Structure 1
Amino acid sequence: MATIKDVAKLAGVSISTVSYVLNNSNRIGEETRQKVLKAAKELNYVPNTFARSLKKEKYDLVSLIVHEIKGPFYDSLVKGIQDVLHNMGYNLLIYCTLENRRQDVAKFLKNDIVDGLIIMTPTVKSEDIEGFSRDFPVVTLDRVLKSERVRSVRIGNERGSYEVVRHLHELGHRRIGFIKGSKDTLDARERYSGFTGAMKKFGLNVVAGDVLEGDFTEESGRSSMSGYLEANRGRKIATAFYCANDETAIGALKAINEYGLRVPEDISLVGFDDIELSSYITPKLTTVRRPMYQLGSLAAHMLISLIFGKYDEVSNINLDVTLVVRDSTGRAAHEEIE
């Protein structure tokens, strides 16, 4: 049985173009329309009735593909995407991937119910995105691909890390620790790379024992910091820690408090993202503000342009970040815990 992908291949157009034609959209020129109809007739193509009924009911759909919607990180991102899409007459469908189930995304896309993709998950591999882009416009938020069909919106992770180290250096900190993020994400790698680069620039050594593992969760920040403080009882330790995101920093803060130490009097803490909670905890968290709403709205604007075929008018974007100084950082304290 012929599929919509077969029709698109024979007609020499994208799957979304075939979908527009079969749904009587006025976006497609008459010449292209006739080419698609001819291909469908030659192949005896029978449309997927479920997909067509869903398409008719939901109208124009864009899918945000993420690993999971968890925590405050995604709130502003989704709102930024939704606001733009709704203004343009589109709806947002969020698809959460699962570990070791990358093939499920391909199965989902075969239903042909979406017009474009915004992708932010390490579960979907770059080679898969390249394949998806042959049938759908794609905007990525977690990587940059050398592809004529894929565009990206990224943030200045390394620049943010530099600003953190600069700030702590100005406060007199000379031994600065780092709690990492998930190993399989570009954000985590860039933030750590920016940290080590900035430490070198300011003539500071990265102490291996002060670099702790984490996975962007509050629990990982709490457990890694607890283990660090216990293992270094009575020894010199870092006077400040830079955490790969705010949730990790909040977990580290709890561990420091549980150990009977104070932030920032004993250890200064810095996060990344500037989630809403960071300004409500005590002490308020110094962090790098990641413009999540803008990230989402720009991604949506870019994707709509790609859906309309304006690839030459859309370039990759790298958004700047801002260091927000609050109460969790102060002058360098002593380096020994009794």
Structure 2
Amino acid sequence: MKKNKKILEGRASSINVAKLAKVSQATVSRVLNHPDKVGEETRNRVLKAIEELKYVPNQNARDLVSGSSKVITLISGPLENPFFVDSTASIVHFATEKGYKVNIYIVDDSDIEETYRQALSNRPDGLIMSCIFYDDPIIEHLERLDIPFVTFNRRHRQKLNYVEFDNYSAAKQACHFLYEKQYDSIFWVGGMLDVSTFKYRFKGFKDTYEEIYQSTLNPLDFMNKKVIDYNMLRENIWYWYQKNPGKKAILAATDSIAINLLSLTKEMGLSCPDEVGIIGIDNVELSKHPYINLTTVGGAQNLGLIAIQELIYTIEHQSNTNIAYTISTQIFDRGTIK
């Protein structure tokens, strides 16, 4: 014990551990990073030395030895959207449980190229993102860099490494639901069609509307905007509401838009669901709140959680399998449709 006193006076290093355990420094590193590859007797000797010296491994050194920083970069949409609140929380919680650090970038589509540059500059072990465009050149760049990646909520046209809802079917279900509830007129509010989510949700709605209502969708009865101008939307909804007789509903491409519409229609003096029904798509946690009680279409699973589970599996097993999940959806009939 006396010969270790000098070591214990300062901070012990892996060299000290190796000397005490009578092994090489490389063996100490293997015990820390790949204990299954070290014989039991040697492993126990190293672990005993670590305990005796109160050795705390240097994470940067371990990263160099293992070739992994255990860092995942998440590029998420704005947290004003409750969908991204739900998914970000699930991603960070699961990754942390698995011993990963998560670097988070919160962006909107306008500054995505600069975000890609910053996110990839430190070469993370994996990339998870919800911001990809349908024809995004980042896919080719990621393949050249050979960085494991997965997208969620949106996907690239190449259908590479994604987790999404069945967006076409979700909008189709919503439109059929409104038809069965005997709504005579539907107003659609969505985003730009250069991302898969809005592209297929709008297509699902339009195709279904024209099939079951036997009428071409009027351009004045829908809005697809990158940034929604709610003053303009108020005017458009009011015009639609006044010119169409019968029972009326608004179908929003996301729950986030639908929740904003609950406020907007209330400001307009329209009672929901008595005078106008509102339905969203996503089934975010906030939609279940008793003061919101939003009728919506979505899945029972969190897309962000599925995506991070698959990404970490890919990283740890060096898997080349394409991640391709399209999650089925269902109607959650609550209080904003009658």
Q: Which has the higher helix share?
A: 2
Report what 1:239 is aligned to: 248
Matches within 5 A, 1:141-152: 141=152, 142-144=154-156, 146=158, 150-152=160-162
Following superposition, the deviation at residue 324 of structure 1 comes to 0.6
2:169 pairs with one of 159, 164, 180? 159
**Cα RMSD after superposing both structures:** 3.3
Report what 1:207 is aligned to: 218
Once the two structures are overlaid, the 10-residue window that deviates more, 295-304 or 204-213, is 204-213
**Per-residue displacement from partner, 1:269-297 (whole Å, max 9, x unpaired)?**
1111223332336562211124563x122
Alpha-carbon separation, structure 2, partners of 1:140 and 1:71: 17
- 1:263–1:328 contact (8 Å) kept in structure 2: yes
Following superposition, the deviation at residue 111 of structure 1 comes to 2.4
- Asked which structure has the greater CA Rg, the reply is 2
Secondary structure of residue in 2 paired with 1:209: helix
Report what 1:298 is aligned to: 306
Aligned-residue sequence identity (percent) comes to 22
Once the two structures are overlaid, the 10-residue window that deviates more, 85-94 or 321-330, is 85-94
Following superposition, the deviation at residue 312 of structure 1 comes to 4.6
Report what 1:102 is aligned to: 113
Alpha-carbon separation, structure 2, partners of 1:176 and 1:223: 19
Secondary structure of residue in 1 paired with 2:274: coil
1:198 pairs with one of 188, 203, 208? 208
1:223 pairs with one of 220, 231, 235? 231
2:287 pairs with one of 266, 270, 278? 278
The runs of 5 or more residues in structure 2 that have no matched partner are 1-28, 38-58
Cα pair distance change 1:183/1:328, threshold 3 Å: same
Secondary structure of residue in 2 paired with 1:134: helix
Alpha-carbon separation, structure 2, partners of 1:265 and 1:71: 26
- 1:63–1:94 contact (8 Å) kept in structure 2: yes
- Give me the TM-score of the superposition, normalised by structure 2: 0.71
Once the two structures are overlaid, the 10-residue window that deviates more, 260-269 or 154-163, is 260-269
Report what 1:263 is aligned to: 272
2:335 pairs with one of 303, 327, 333? 327
- Give me the TM-score of the superposition, normalised by structure 1: 0.71
Alpha-carbon separation, structure 2, partners of 1:194 and 1:124: 17
Alpha-carbon separation, structure 1, partners of 2:77 and 2:100: 22
The runs of 5 or more residues in structure 1 that have no matched partner are 1-22, 31-50, 331-338
Paired residue total: 278
- 2:95–2:102 contact (8 Å) kept in structure 1: yes
- 1:225–1:252 contact (8 Å) kept in structure 2: no
Secondary structure of residue in 1 paired with 2:280: strand
Secondary structure of residue in 2 paired with 1:92: strand
Secondary structure of residue in 1 paired with 2:161: strand
Return structure 1 stretches of 4+ with deviation > 4 angstroms.
23-27, 51-56, 214-217
- 2:165–2:328 contact (8 Å) kept in structure 1: yes
Write the letter of the residue equivalent to 1:146.
Q
